[in-house]
Structure 1
Amino acid sequence: MSRIKLLHVVRPAAGGMKNHLINLVRYTDKKRFDVTVACPPNTALWDELTALRVQTFPIPLVGELSPTRDYAAVHSLVKYLNQSGTTILHAHSSKGALVGRLAALMARTPVVIFTAHNSIFYEEWPEWKKKLFATVERFLARFTDKIITVSDALKQELMEREGLPAKQLTTIYNGIEVEKFAAKVDAKSVRRSLNIPELGPVVGTIARLAPQKGVSYFLKAASLLKEYQVNFLVVGDGPLRETLEQEATELGLQNRVIFAGQRENIAEILSVLDIYVLPSVTEGLPLTILEAMAAGKPVVATRVGGVPEAIAEGKTGLVVPSRDPEALAVALAGLIGERDRLIRMGANGQKHVKEKFTVSMMVEKTKQLYNQLLTVVMQFQDNIPRSIT
């Protein structure tokens, strides 16, 4: 029996979206599905997919609106969809969904799915651009079989702010490889590699250094905890790195905050943290808090997007208002030094993630959605494979 041809379409992706797609592709049943990813070449995502021997198709897709490149990407995708006989197009992010769904509409691809990882309304875009994307989204939704949201909060926002019908939306939570983050490592060696002093607990965040990640609020909270013997760690890179380093200096945190830059050994880094902080202004359902809980670390995070759906308040972590460094500092002060409480929260977090947020759960629910939509299509097209269980 021939395999079902499945094409994922995604813009240049990093962080959580990249990891989400990599996990989804890695664990999709290759006996049932012939998987290809359309994305820009010469990117971290492309390189990682190539290393995993995943089929890739190059498209000139960029994050910002670019009529010339976007047209070229649509043209390339239409040609590919027609020649490959693709049955399912699964787009990711608003930009990937814009280009991917236009191509699918022109190529008459049988099944079209869009995963929304976050809300466009919190992007650092001018208001006209947000309104334009929302208008285009409402139009393209008419030609989309299902829109996946990574949290119920994001689903509700798309219904309220974009006017999308509830029946077209479904929530599938992000999932992670829990065992990957539960492994024991040499904590002293990892601390040395990050230039973290031997004494004092470590409170850290891992994020792309961009406005929506709220790292500035993390630094402001750290400045309110100077009397505590705490080491603060910022892992990641991005357009705000120089600005944030300057802010740390202005706040008198030169010897208290370590900017570790981009790192790949996230599981090892999480192992040396005592508390993980997510200070974001907007999120869908961030993988980093799931990874931190899988590593047995309590989480203090802002009440945005699907974060309250992932954290069991008071049991696996604490949730505070966004853009409020004082509230963040108070929450951290209440946990620092309470070793027994930190250990208890960490253990609860590991159990919580295993029960609700594993890769196998995410992949299985996605496959069930593919199955559901293909069943409808098979009523009209006899040439689509009939068994995907």
Structure 2
Amino acid sequence: MSKIKVLHVVRPAAGGMKNHLLDLVRLTDHTRFDVTVACPQDSLLWAELAALGIKTTPIPLVGELSPLKDYAAVKSLVKYLHSSGTVILHAHSSKGALVGRLAAAIVKTPVVVFTAHNSIFYEQWPRWKKNLFAMVERFLARLTDRIITVSDALKQELMEQESLPARQLTTIYNGIETDKFNLKLDTLTVRQSLSIPELGPVIGTIARLAPQKGVSYFLKAASLLKDYQVNFLVVGDGPLREELEQEAAELGLKNRVTFAGRRENIPEILATLDIFVLPSVTEGLPLTILEAMAAGKPVVATRVGGIPEAIVEGKTGLVVPPRDPEALAIALAGLLGERERMLRMGNCGRKHVTEKFTVQAMVNKTMELYQQLMGEKKLGIPSNPISTEGKQHRTDVEG
């Protein structure tokens, strides 16, 4: 049987969504599925896909709404879909899903899947904008065979906001390669490379410096812990970096907080932390929390999106209300005073992630969904059953 052609459509992606897509296309069974990714040619994602040997096709897709560029992206996708014999179009993020689903509808692509990685109804939007967006999404849902949500909380939100039936939604949790984060190394060397003082525990966050990640609340919580000999670390970059550095200075944290910028050695950085924090105001299911637990670190995060589905409260970490730096500071102070509890949480977190949030489980469930949808449409399915035992499929692009 010939391979099933799959096209992933994604806007310029960074952070968790980029890593999710890279893992998905890398570990998809390439003996059954012929995978291509449509994304902007000048993006970091394009370069990383090329390094993995994944086929790509360029589209002029940008993150914000741009009628001219969006039309050009749809036109480009229509041309590709017509000529490629694509059977499954899999869109990621609301912007990728907008152009991808319109193009698939024009060409009549047999199977259309959309992964919602995060909430698409931002709280700062006025009610009219949320209603308009929900109306557009309800229309696009008619052009979609299945919507994947990365958490049950996100699934529930889409059911409520868009009145979508449960049968159209499937939760597939994000997953990670846990072995990458189980490191034994000289953390002093890592601290020195980040200009972190040698003495005192390190509390850190890894996030894109954008409003939804709530890093400002982390800084405010840090300012409430000035009496503790603690070092604070912010890893990541984004539109709010300059503003957040200024806020840290105004809070008297200039010598207590290190802004490390974008880094590639995340496993080493996590190994150096004593506590990982994610103060988000909206989330799907953040990979950084899973990575921190895989690294054996206790996690303190906000009660938003799928975060409570990832953290076992009191066992692998603590969950606090969003936008509440006082609650965050209290949770951190409590852990700092109980070293044995921190170690116990870290060990429980590593075990929890290994059992429930592996990348191979995520990839296998996605392939099973492809197979199910093709079967429902009587399109024929790959001849060999897909393993659900976490066995890693060999591909021609591993490495």
Name the TM-score class by shorter chain: over 0.9
Residue number in structure 2 paired with 1:49 = 49
C-alpha distance in structure 2 between counterparts of 1:298 and 1:271, whole Å: 12
Percent identity over paired residues: 77
Residue number in structure 2 paired with 1:349 = 349
Report the Cα offset of residue 125 of structure 1.
5.0
Report the Cα offset of residue 337 of structure 1.
3.5
Distance 1:82 1:114, change over 3 A: same
Q: Does 1:64 align with 2:60?
A: no
Report the Cα offset of residue 126 of structure 1.
5.5
C-alpha distance in structure 1 between counterparts of 2:57 and 2:126, whole Å: 31
Report the Cα offset of residue 372 of structure 1.
0.5
Distance 1:124 1:36, change over 3 A: farther
Residue number in structure 2 paired with 1:309 = 309
Summarize the alignment of residues 156-195 of structure 1 with structure 2, pairs less than 5 Å apart.
Answer: 156-195=156-195
C-alpha distance in structure 2 between counterparts of 1:353 and 1:186, whole Å: 24
8 Å CA contact retained: 2:209, 2:239:
yes
Q: Does 1:340 align with 2:367?
A: no
8 Å CA contact retained: 1:371, 1:388:
no
8 Å CA contact retained: 1:277, 1:300:
yes
Letter in 2 for 1:11: R
Q: Does 1:387 align with 2:383?
A: yes
Residue number in structure 1 paired with 2:24 = 24
Normalising by structure 1, we get a TM-score of: 0.97
C-alpha distance in structure 2 between counterparts of 1:128 and 1:3, whole Å: 45
C-alpha distance in structure 2 between counterparts of 1:129 and 1:370, whole Å: 33
C-alpha distance in structure 2 between counterparts of 1:123 and 1:213, whole Å: 13
Structure 1 runs not aligned, ≥5 long: none
C-alpha distance in structure 2 between counterparts of 1:324 and 1:121, whole Å: 21
Distance 1:123 1:93, change over 3 A: farther
Letter in 1 for 2:67: P
C-alpha distance in structure 2 between counterparts of 1:260 and 1:305, whole Å: 27
Q: Does 1:15 align with 2:15?
A: yes
Residue number in structure 2 paired with 1:215 = 215
Normalising by structure 2, we get a TM-score of: 0.95
**What is the number of equivalent residue pairs in this alignment?**
385
Report the Cα offset of residue 185 of structure 1.
2.0
Distance 1:124 1:64, change over 3 A: farther
**What SS is found at the alignment partner of 2:121?**
helix
Report the Cα offset of residue 56 of structure 1.
0.5
**What SS is found at the alignment partner of 1:233?**
strand
C-alpha distance in structure 1 between counterparts of 2:260 and 2:212, whole Å: 19
Q: Which structure 1 residue ranges, 4+ long, deviate > 4 Å from structure 2?
A: 123-129
**What SS is found at the alignment partner of 2:91?**
strand
Distance 1:266 1:130, change over 3 A: same
8 Å CA contact retained: 1:285, 1:310:
yes
Structure 2 runs not aligned, ≥5 long: 386-399
Report the Cα offset of residue 183 of structure 1.
1.9
Distance 1:367 1:97, change over 3 A: same
Deviations 1:114-166 (A, max 9, x none): 00011111266565543332211100111211000000000000001111111
C-alpha distance in structure 2 between counterparts of 1:129 and 1:295, whole Å: 40
Letter in 2 for 1:78: V
Report the Cα offset of residue 282 of structure 1.
0.3
**What SS is found at the alignment partner of 1:37?**
strand
Q: Does 1:115 align with 2:115?
A: yes
C-alpha distance in structure 2 between counterparts of 1:186 and 1:132, whole Å: 53
Letter in 1 for 2:116: A
**What SS is found at the alignment partner of 2:333?**
helix
Residue number in structure 1 paired with 2:278 = 278
C-alpha distance in structure 1 between counterparts of 2:318 and 2:89, whole Å: 38
Summarize the alignment of residues 125-144 of structure 1 with structure 2, pairs less than 5 Å apart.
Answer: 125=125, 127-144=127-144
Letter in 2 for 1:277: V
8 Å CA contact retained: 1:39, 1:56:
yes
User: What is the CA RMSD across the aligned residues, in angstroms?
Assistant: 1.1
8 Å CA contact retained: 2:292, 2:298:
yes
Letter in 1 for 2:365: K
Deviations 1:76-129 (A, max 9, x none): 111111100000000000000000000000010000000001111126656554
